[in-house]
Copies of this chain bind each other. A is one copy, B any other.
Amino acid sequence: MIEIIELIKFDKDSTLPLYVQLYEKLKTLIGDGTLVCDVRLPSIRQLSKELGINRVTVVTAIRELEKDGYVYTKPGSGTFVSSSFIVTDKSMHLQSNLVLDEVYTQEYASLINNGQVSLTENSINFASATPTPDLFPVDDFKVALNEVLERDKGNAFSYQDSQGYYPLRESICRVLGEAMITCNPDDIQIISGAQQGIDIISKALLRQGDYIITESPTYAGAIAVFKSRGVQIADIELFEDGMSLSVLEYTIKKYKPRLLYTIPSFQNPTGYSCSNHKREQLLKLADKYDLYVIEDDYVSDLDFEGKKYITLKSMDKNNRVIFIKSYSKIFMPGLRLGFMIVPPGILGNVIEAKHATDISTSGLIQRAFDLYIRKGFWDKHSQFMYDVYKERYIKTINALDNNLPQNVTYKKPGGGLNLWLSLPPGFHVNKLASLCALKDIVFAPGKIFYSGNSSQKLNNIRLSFASVYVEHIEHGVGILCKTIELMEQKNESYRNLPIL
């Protein structure tokens, strides 16, 4: 005990209050390992006496340490050091930066681990299509969370119905009504995010060796599910207005797939949208060939230019469409919440697959989100996110207009979170990624969005503006474009290495 006290010296010239100085000293002793896990701190009385400072000062410092997780108090026994908060700091740092959300693949991870792409606190992150944490409505959600705990007590933590908390399913139906989709709570399956929805549908409908049709390129997480299920992927090249209908019909006839996976509006990664005409035809093909269609409604709400695409689900007369919606983009990814509208013919299988997957989604989160919607917070927040994203979208488009090298092209999507830049064929995208990373700019190489089954374009990159602050966009896009030009000038643009 005495030793600890001897290590604490106050700086009399400091302008910092004594309690802050004590807080910092103790934090340092914990951080550098002098005070190890579960060591008991001297008592308030001892500290106060030995250090010659006021008791209130000591209490305040300890309280702050506890709040920040450096110490914990056992009633009646004293205050103890929480272990490993050095590691915590480190891991929290890593976490906020290394997380590449849905673009994670072992390949991309190795790119990062090899140091070819690195993310730091200063990175301008065009790789992540995920909102920044500052946008999350923590205060409103906290209100909902606490009200639910008050209202439901332990029931909030019981097993939930596998299909999902019924009142939340009701709330979702009401919100969907505003988006012109009619459904009732019995059609809704609550899921822990869109990724889980794809996994559950795969379990309910697909067996090893079955075929599935996807767009190419497409969401890497979907490819991962289908591969994990042992399913054969028949991928169809995606054009600016959707897949070619004749290729689609040809592929259906050839492989007789049970399922088609599509992101019709502001697709991930391309930002392309299927035309309304093609949507109608696609549904006709689904009817004709007895095909289920997963409509991954990634971000159709983020329609910045009044494109007014109609969801497949709202046109779905014959129950062919499984509509999947995540709250990760508009709300917050870490909640792990979303829902599906499931055709009655497969609902039983879907509920059983959900039960075998994780029994149910967290009841607390479901209940809190339900109350959040019922209180009108959701309407307010989705409008707010729309405005934030729209500003980032316009800024990115403008920056590209001002800076884009002649040999780089892209289609303005009119909405969503992603832009798909085409560099000249054979352009060394990995080298570009490395060079940009040196300047703290990261993006997602196009390659990771291909299943590898048919021809891939390796000269694309996905630029997502979801997590880049408006004030960094011009700078980030500028550096990206200049780096491309520089590579061209130095004749470093084209790969002379085997494809990574």
Interface residues of A (CB under 8 A from B): 37, 67-69, 72-74, 82-85, 87-88, 91-92, 94-96, 98-99, 101-102, 104, 106, 130, 132-136, 138, 141-142, 145-147, 149-151, 153-162, 165-167, 170, 174, 185, 192-193, 195-196, 199, 203, 207-209, 221, 224-225, 228, 230, 328, 332-336, 348, 352-353, 355-365, 371, 374-376
Bound complex: CA of A185 vs CA of B348, how far in Å?
Answer: 39
Specify which chain B residues have a CB less than 8 angstroms from the CB of A134 in the assembled complex.
Answer: 153-154
Specify which chain B residues have a CB less than 8 angstroms from the CB of A73 in the assembled complex.
Answer: 375-376
Q: CB distance B170 to A84 under 8 Å?
A: yes
Q: CB distance A158 to B364 under 8 Å?
A: no
Q: CB distance A332 to B154 under 8 Å?
A: yes
Q: CB distance B84 to A167 under 8 Å?
A: yes
Q: CB distance A358 to B192 under 8 Å?
A: yes
Known: A104-B162, A353-B228. A358 touches B150 (CB 8 A): no
> Which of B104, B162, B166, B193 contacts A87 (CB under 8 A)?
B166
Q: CB distance A361 to B336 under 8 Å?
A: yes
Bound complex: CA of A94 vs CA of B166, how far in Å?
Answer: 10
A348 nearest CB neighbor, chain B only? B106
A161 nearest CB neighbor, chain B only? B95
A204 nearest CB neighbor, chain B only? B228
Q: CB distance B230 to A207 under 8 Å?
A: yes
Bound complex: CA of A316 vs CA of B269, how far in Å?
Answer: 44
Bound complex: CA of A85 vs CA of B151, how far in Å?
Answer: 14
Q: How far is the CB of A488 from chain B (nearest CB, A)?
A: 35
Bound complex: CA of A151 vs CA of B365, how far in Å?
Answer: 19
Bound complex: CA of A344 vs CA of B354, how far in Å?
Answer: 29
A sample of 27 inter-chain contacts (CB < 8 A) reads A72-B376, A73-B376, A84-B170, A87-B166, A87-B185, A88-B166, A88-B167, A91-B167, A104-B162, A104-B355, A106-B348, A106-B352, A130-B159, A159-B328, A159-B333, A160-B334, A193-B359, A195-B355, A195-B357, A195-B358, A199-B357, A203-B228, A207-B208, A208-B230, A228-B353, A336-B359, A336-B361
**Would you call the interface of chain A mostly helix, strand, loop, or mixed?**
helix
Q: CB distance B359 to A101 under 8 Å?
A: yes
* Protomer copies: 2
Q: How far is the CB of A233 from chain B (nearest CB, A)?
A: 14
Specify which chain B residues have a CB less than 8 angstroms from the CB of A363 in the assembled complex.
Answer: 334
Bound complex: CA of A406 vs CA of B68, how far in Å?
Answer: 61
Q: CB distance B149 to A133 under 8 Å?
A: no
Bound complex: CA of A462 vs CA of B221, how far in Å?
Answer: 40
Q: CB distance B174 to A99 under 8 Å?
A: no
Known: A146-B146, A196-B357, A335-B362. A153 touches B138 (CB 8 A): yes
A338 nearest CB neighbor, chain B only? B358
Bound complex: CA of A353 vs CA of B357, how far in Å?
Answer: 12
> Which of B74, B154, B336 contacts A376 (CB under 8 A)?
B74
A365 nearest CB neighbor, chain B only? B362
Specify which chain B residues have a CB less than 8 angstroms from the CB of A162 in the assembled complex.
Answer: 104
Known: A138-B149, A142-B149. A358 touches B196 (CB 8 A): yes
Bound complex: CA of A228 vs CA of B88, how far in Å?
Answer: 38
> Which of B133, B208, B355 contacts A208 (CB under 8 A)?
B208
A222 nearest CB neighbor, chain B only? B356
Specify which chain B residues have a CB less than 8 angstroms from the CB of A192 in the assembled complex.
Answer: 192, 336, 358, 362
Q: CB distance B157 to A133 under 8 Å?
A: yes
A141, A224, A359: residue with the most chain B Cβ atoms closer than 10 Å: A359
Known: A135-B154, A159-B101, A167-B88. A334 touches B362 (CB 8 A): yes
Q: How far is the CB of A287 from chain B (nearest CB, A)?
A: 28
> Which of B67, B84, B98, B207 contacts A151 (CB under 8 A)?
B67
Bound complex: CA of A485 vs CA of B207, how far in Å?
Answer: 47
Q: CB distance A69 to B154 under 8 Å?
A: no
A364 nearest CB neighbor, chain B only? B334
A101 nearest CB neighbor, chain B only? B159
> Which of B37, B230, B376 contacts A174 (CB under 8 A)?
B37
Specify which chain B residues have a CB less than 8 angstroms from the CB of A145 in the assembled complex.
Answer: 145, 149
Bound complex: CA of A84 vs CA of B193, how far in Å?
Answer: 25
Q: CB distance A142 to B151 under 8 Å?
A: no
Q: CB distance A374 to B69 under 8 Å?
A: yes
A333 nearest CB neighbor, chain B only? B159
Bound complex: CA of A158 vs CA of B99, how far in Å?
Answer: 9
Q: How far is the CB of A333 from chain B (nearest CB, A)?
A: 5
Q: CB distance A375 to B150 under 8 Å?
A: no
